[in-house]
Structure 1
Amino acid sequence: MKRSWLTAVELAAVLKVSVKSIRRAYRKGEIPVERFCRFVRFDLERVKEAMQANGHGPSLVASKRRQGQRSATGGASRRRAQRTGPRLGKTGASIAQKPRGKK
């Protein structure tokens, strides 16, 4: 059987997920990857077997939603810490304006 090596973009198209999801999965070790010099290639059959063994099923994205991990709504990744006190440092409003004297 002849193996066909797929790039990350081609694998993402076959699995119908984003390229970021593919890259994230192989960096975490969730899917097998072969390195040829600086290039990464994927064997589709081995990737599907690994996904089934990991319990991901047909999609990498759907498994995260099943595990209870949700993405933030409205584009906010997290709540920002609020400032508790006044801003430290000199700004234009905080510097008292003195009239200029003659030299």
Structure 2
Amino acid sequence: MINYHFRKATLPEIAPIWEILQRAIRRRKEDGSNQWQDGYPDPAAVQKDIGKGEGFVLVEGETISGYSAVVINYEPAYDQIEGNWLTNADFVIPINLCGRN
């Protein structure tokens, strides 16, 4: 049985997280997506996520298999949305969600 664990990332884990993100950035480009082709995310963004307690890793045994920034109740892009939300309740935004292939 494979043992997965989802936990907060730590600063010493930036290098393996960045490796995962680089693969995801290349994959998006190969798939024709413009997302993540402007320099974001980068290692500084990962460091900021972790510093704010929003960076999480998926660990398989001792290996980091995935990364996500999980942001609660804030996404700057949502400031541009016209109209109203169906509710004013809390919401969660998974950002930089990617894993090893």
Larger radius of gyration: 1
TM-score by length of 2: 0.31
The one of the two structures with greater contact order (alpha-carbon pairs below 8 A, sep at least 6) is 2
